[in-house]
Amino acid sequence: MKSETALKATNPVPLDNILTSVVVLNWDALAPGSTTGMVRIEYHIGIDGSVETLRLWARAREYWSLICEYSTHLAWSDGPRFANGFHSRSLGRLLQSIMVNQNLFCHGCDPNTNSTLEIGTPTEEETTAATLRVNEAFQRAS
């Protein structure tokens, strides 16, 4: 049993998977009532290989609106900055947990590169999987 626990702790969760799961779990706050909505996640990997900035965008029809942005730079306040009328305490806490615990997650990006994810309206199965993924990822931190 201990070897299974040790194995889990050494296998970080892919960053794209955890970010997608966070969006799926907060879908109602990001695209309320939308069956055709889209959320885009953009992040920048810094020279040290960690996420420096993160932005979430929502698309309604053909327009993209900034949901929030997060930066690890010291001049920023603690947590994500929401914009354009968006706000979700749950989303903010999960994003902050990801940014503070980046050692739990892995990515295949080179230093000083950008990455983009697009997430469409989640299914019930995707929501269930996202719940499990987030719970498992943050149980590792305890």
Instruction: State which residues form the domain around 25.
Output: 2-139
Q: Which residue has the higher pLDDT, 62 or 127?
A: 127
Distance CA 65, CA 25 (A): 19
Type of residue found at 99: M
Q: Is the pLDDT of residue 7 over 80?
A: no
- As a whole-number percent, the residues of the chain with pLDDT over 90 amount to 67
Task: Name the domain count of the chain.
Answer: 1
pTM for the structure as a whole: 0.86
What percentage of the chain's residues is helix, strand, coil (to nearest 5)? 40, 30, 30
pLDDT of residue 78: 74
Note the pLDDT tens digit of each residue in 67-121. 999 998 766 567 899 999 999 999 999 999 999 899 999 999 999 999 999 999 9
Q: CA torsion sign, 63 to 80 to 28 to 131?
A: positive
